[in-house]
């Protein structure tokens, strides 16, 4: 059976939650493989709205196994709160429906404190972090001082590892003017939360290997977007993990041969939250219109998203880096009513035409978009479920995007509703 990786191909907020939920009807297992609760997915199912941050989107669809992989950094207190919130909405969450990798590193309160203190003291060059401790938690993982889920079940190991982490963090805190961490209080809090986390813990790599060998379909759910990848994003305005499709194998414990199809989620225009370069950003009425019609506010932070025209250069770059087999184009309905639309087809840098965004920050800042103007449409595309339901100009817009990015559209989403989706190619088809 085919296994599918879903990744964002822009700066996040592309509508991955809806597409993962829609695709999970064809999957048996849904896996989160990177990131933390700094990314959010909003699912609209009938008159019910679910906002997910750490939990896989597959949980809201019954009969699926949801998995949090080792590539995720996990705030245990946030997870408990999120589980309780979904249960209050009628979603069943048990160790039979949710499994957490026992080797996933934890986000602890001092990670968030460090994250926020750094941003506050670095006003001249802020990264735009959410302040939830994701970056410092990944730093501790690489620095071999992280506390992992399995450590919650062993008091002696937990104390040793906490001591090792705090030798490092108390020194950092002193330099930032913060008080040392209260070891006893944190240790007590970890021991208190442990019984709520440990029943879900297990060897995810083994579980997924067994499910794969049994012919079960696995859907890998990425968070954020490829342009925020720690290696290939607009550094340093990026997240602290690898976001691209190659991370699905590493962040879940399977080999790269486990991936059969990479689906890139692409918004029909471009948005970005926080700091960093954005060549097609609009500061005019068109930009405000996109933001208002698209309800462009972050699921996790509530921050207003910056808006701009579709950037085919960046999406083409993402398709190459991720090995994307097909895109899912979302929010096409937000473009309804524009007389004309613009697509960035190249950049101009100091009089030279470029077909990619360079890695150097100074060069990125000087890149200017080269636009192609295409006709808009007056008719509504909202709720369309087939090509025949779309205006001719909307179809031409989608086809032009396919040509420019060198990748076909596998799905087109025309509203937040689960079923308002045009299926062109089933990613799970064998």
Which residues are identified as catalytic?
13, 41
Measured distance CA(94)–CA(237) in Å, rounded: 37
Three-state SS for the chain is: CCCEEEEECCCCCCCHHHHHHHHHHHCCEEEECCECCCCCEEEEECCEEEEECCCCHHHHCCCCEEEECCCECECHHHHHHHHHHHHHCCCCCCCCCEEEECCCEECCHHHHHHHHHHHHHCHHHCCCCCCCCHHHHHHHHHCCCCCEHHHHHCHHHHHHHHHHHHHHHHHHHHHCCCCCCCHHHHHHHHHHHHHHHHHHEECHHHHHHHHHHCCCCEEEECCCCHHHCCCCCCCCCCCCCCCCCCHHHHCCCCCHHHCCEEEEEEECCEEECCCCCCCCECCCHHHHHHHHHCCCECCCCCCECEEECEEHHHHHHHHHHHCCCEEEEECHHHHCCCCEEEEEEEEEECCEEECCCCCCHHHHHHCEEEEEEEECCCCCCCCCCCHHHCCHHHHHHHHHHHHHHCCCEEEEECCCECCCEEECCCCCCC
Phi, psi of 344 (to 5 degrees): -75, 120
Which two tokens mark 176?
């930032």
Distance of CA 247 to the CA centre of its chain: 12
Query: Quick count: other Cβ atoms within 10 Å of Cβ 171?
Result: 10
Distance of CA 100 to the CA centre of its chain: 18
Q: Which residues pair with 371 in a beta bridge?
A: 344
């Amino acid at each position: 059976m085919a296994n599918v990786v879903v990744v964002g191909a822009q700066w996040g907020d592309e509508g991955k939650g809806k597409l993962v939920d829609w695709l999970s009807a064809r999957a048996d297992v849904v896996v989160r493989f990177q990131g933390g609760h700094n990314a959010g997915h909003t699912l609209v199912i009938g008159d019910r709205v679910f906002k997910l941050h750490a939990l896989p989107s597959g949980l809201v669809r019954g009969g699926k196994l949801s998995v949090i992989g080792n590539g995720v950094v996990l705030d245990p207190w946030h997870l408990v709160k999120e589980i309780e919130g979904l249960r209050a909405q009628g979603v069943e969450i048990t160790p039979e429906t949710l499994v957490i990798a026992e080797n996933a590193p934890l986000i602890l309160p001092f990670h968030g404190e460090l994250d926020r203190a750094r941003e506050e003291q670095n006003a001249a060059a802020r990264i735009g972090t959410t302040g939830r401790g994701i970056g410092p938690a990944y730093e501790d993982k690489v620095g071999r001082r992280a506390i992992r889920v399995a450590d919650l079940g062993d008091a002696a190991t937990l104390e040793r590892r906490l001591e090792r982490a705090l030798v490092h963090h108390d020194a950092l805190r002193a330099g930032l003017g913060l008080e040392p961490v209260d070891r006893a209080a944190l240790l007590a809090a970890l021991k208190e939360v442990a019984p709520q986390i440990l029943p879900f813990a297990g060897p995810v790599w083994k579980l997924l290997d067994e499910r794969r060998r049994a012919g079960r379909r696995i859907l890998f759910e990425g968070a954020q977007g490829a342009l925020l990848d720690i290696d290939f994003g607009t550094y340093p305005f990026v997240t602290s993990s690898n976001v691209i499709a190659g991370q699905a194998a590493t962040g879940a414990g399977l080999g790269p041969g486990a991936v059969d199809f990479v689906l890139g989620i692409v918004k029909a225009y471009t948005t970005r939250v926080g700091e960093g370069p954005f060549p097609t950003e609009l500061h005019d009425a068109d930009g405000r219109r996109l933001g208002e019609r698209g309800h462009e506010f972050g699921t996790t932070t509530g921050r207003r998203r910056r808006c701009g025209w579709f950037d085919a250069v960046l999406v083409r770059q993402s398709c190459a880096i991720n090995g994307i087999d097909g895109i899912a184009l979302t929010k096409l309905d937000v473009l309804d009513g524009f007389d004309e639309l613009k697509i960035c087809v190249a950049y101009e840098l100091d009089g030279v035409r470029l077909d990619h965004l360079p890695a150097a920050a100074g060069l990125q800042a000087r890149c200017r978009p080269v636009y192609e103007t295409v006709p808009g449409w007056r008719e509504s595309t909202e709720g369309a479920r087939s090509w025949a339901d779309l205006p001719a100009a909307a179809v031409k817009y989608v086809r032009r995007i396919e040509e420019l990015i060198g990748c076909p559209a596998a799905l087109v989403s025309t509203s937040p509703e689960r079923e308002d989706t045009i299926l062109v190619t089933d990613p799970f088809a064998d």
